[in-house]
């Protein structure tokens, strides 16, 4: 939006940076900028509540790769996360769940590709962590910094951009100014809308249902995804709580199928899961929680303008096939903090368009590459054409034998490249 030249309003305070959104990505950025000595305000409707170690895992979980772990460890949050709970995994497997003629032709596991931590000399590939656990660890960290504050419980109403600052107005009538406003307020970002940064959006023809279940056995050291023509079926191990094992299941399917699933009782849904999921699924004991949501790809037309910049889901949402969403968001936050830190050291304006566009130039290609890769998987496996189906299953089998290529793909997925 055009810059206003004649500001005429009183404000409660001028900050270096106001971050709208105190979730995982916004919280991580607040920690980094606070440690650089900037005055930071985090705007959040409601902060994450306290953690109870005896409660079952929350339904909202993320798969954090090694790069994200290193990032959180460097800022001092990772040990707090581990002190609450997180489940590591050492293997990732991908295959297609076959039926009909191909089920009789293709031997079991012949179309399975498995990635292991040993193959790249790592102790593990990542952790499954509840979103609230990450948020709480980051909240604890940024609230300990004297130059970081929280503006809680108020709704954003307006954003005005001026030559040397931006002004946020809230529904309460309160307003705050900053050299830079960061939109970390999620897929439906108000900052993105108010700043007229534009959005390209495309809905997939699938919804995702996430189900937390109690299972038999010990937590597995593997996450897996079995593709079907109507969408993947995924398994993620969760931490053990009070000697009880949990897992997160993700069922991608057509919207009409999800409408049917949502009408089922817990017992009926468990029966459908047992029928539809691969036999590698541990024995299910109880359904703990469930949620369903549409899949939408979004990409901001601009990540940045004068005095305003977007990170995380406010800038991009991707197909969650490989669980890369929050990992991309953490990389956004890391790069933005590096660039703003350089500005600070060199005495430059942190809200000027040049450094913010430099951030966009570094992050947009990486995010677009991951979005394209996830689209490739989505479209490659979303059809039932026999020759295509045979070709992709041969490809999965061959991929498991191409060790150098597997290492390259794994290193990229883990953020090590």
Write down the CATH number for the domain with range 14-90+125-382. 3.50.50.60
How far is 370 from 242, CA to CA, in rounded Å?
Answer: 38
Give the C-alpha separation, 337 to 410, whole Å.
26
Q: How much helix, strand and coil, in percent to the nearest 5, is found in the chain?
A: 35, 30, 30
Query: What secondary structure letter does DSSP report for 98?
Result: -
Give the residue among 46, 41, 47, 45 at the shortest CA–CA distance from 166: 41
The DSSP code for 4 is B
d(CA 327, CA 67): 8
CB atoms within 10 A of CB 270: 17
Please, is 179 exposed, middle or buried when counting C-beta atoms within 10 Å of its C-beta (0-12, 13-18, 19+)? buried
Contact 3, 162 (CB under 8 A): yes
Taking the chain (417 residues) in consecutive chunks of 10 residues, what is each chunk's mean pLDDT? Answer: 37 87 97 97 90 95 95 97 97 78 58 85 94 96 95 92 95 94 97 97 92 95 90 94 96 94 96 94 96 94 97 94 86 98 96 96 94 78 54 52 58 65
The sign of the dihedral angle between the CA atoms of 134, 139, 152, 310 is negative
Is the pTM higher than 0.85? The answer reads: yes
To the nearest 10 degrees (0 to 180), the angle between helices 353-381 and 325-345 is 170
Task: Please give the pLDDT value at position 4.
Answer: 35
Output the pLDDT for position 5. Answer: 33
398: tokens are: 């061959």
| Contact by Cβ (8 Å): 334, 71 | yes
List of residues 6+ apart from 376 with CB closer than 8 A: none
* Beta bridge pairs of residue 259: none
Domain ranges of the chain: 14-90+125-382
Query: How open is the CA angle 299-303-308, to the nearest 5 degrees?
Result: 140
CA 195/CA 16 separation, integer angstroms? 18
pLDDT for the residue 147: 96
CA–CA gap between residue 22 and residue 150 (Å, rounded): 9
Residue 245 has what pLDDT?
97
Give the DSSP letter string of 179-238: EEEEE-S-TT-HHHHHTT--EEEEEEEEEEEEEEEEESSSPPSEEEEEE-TT--EEEEEE
C-alpha to C-alpha distances, 362 to 228, 291, 304, 330, 395, nearest whole angstrom? 35, 34, 12, 14, 32
């Amino acid at each position: 939006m055009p810059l206003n030249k004649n500001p005429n309003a009183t404000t409660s305070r001028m900050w270096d940076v106001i971050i709208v959104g105190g979730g995982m990505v916004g919280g991580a950025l607040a920690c980094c900028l606070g440690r650089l000595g900037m005055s930071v305000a985090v705007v959040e409707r409601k902060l994450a509540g306290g953690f109870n170690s005896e409660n079952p895992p929350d339904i909202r979980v993320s798969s954090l790769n090694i790069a994200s772990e290193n990032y959180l460890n460097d800022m001092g949050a990772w040990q707090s996360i581990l002190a609450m709970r997180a489940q590591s995994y050492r293997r990732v497997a991908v295959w297609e769940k076959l039926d009909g003629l191909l089920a009789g032709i293709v031997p079991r596991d012949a179309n399975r590709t498995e990635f292991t931590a040993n193959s790249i000399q790592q102790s593990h590939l990542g952790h499954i962590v509840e979103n609230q656990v990450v948020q709480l660890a980051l909240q604890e960290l940024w609230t300990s910094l004297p130059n970081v504050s929280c503006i809680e419980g108020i709704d954003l109403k307006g954003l005005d951009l001026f030559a040397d600052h931006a002004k946020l107005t809230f529904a309460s009538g309160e307003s705050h100014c900053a050299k830079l406003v960061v939109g970390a307020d999620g897929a439906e970002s108000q900052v993105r809308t108010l700043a007229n940064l534009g959005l390209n959006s495309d809905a997939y023809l699938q919804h995702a249902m996430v189900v937390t279940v109690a299972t038999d056995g010990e937590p597995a050291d593997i996450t897996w995804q079995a593709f079907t023509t109507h969408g993947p079926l995924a398994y993620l191990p969760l931490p053990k709580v009070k000697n009880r094992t949990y897992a997160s299941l993700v069922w991608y399917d057509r919207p009409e199928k999800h409408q049917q699933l949502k009408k089922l009782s817990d017992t009926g849904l468990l029966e459908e899961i047992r029928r539809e999921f691969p036999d590698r699924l541990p024995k299910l004991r109880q359904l703990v929680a469930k949620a369903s949501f549409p899949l939408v790809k979004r990409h901001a037309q601009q990540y940045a303008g004068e005095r305003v910049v977007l990170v995380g889901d406010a800038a991009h949402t991707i197909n969650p096939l490989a669980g890369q969403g929050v990992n991309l968001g953490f990389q956004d936050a890391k790069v933005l903090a590096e660039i703003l830190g350089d500005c600070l050291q060199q005495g430059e304006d942190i809200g000027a368009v040049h450094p913010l566009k430099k951030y966009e130039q570094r992050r947009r290609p990486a995010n677009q590459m991951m979005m394209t890769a996830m689209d490739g998987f989505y479209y490659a496996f979303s059809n039932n054409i026999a020759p295509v189906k045979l070709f992709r299953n041969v490809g999965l089998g061959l991929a498991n034998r191409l060790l150098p290529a597997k290492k390259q793909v794994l290193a990229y997925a883990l953020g090590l490249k």
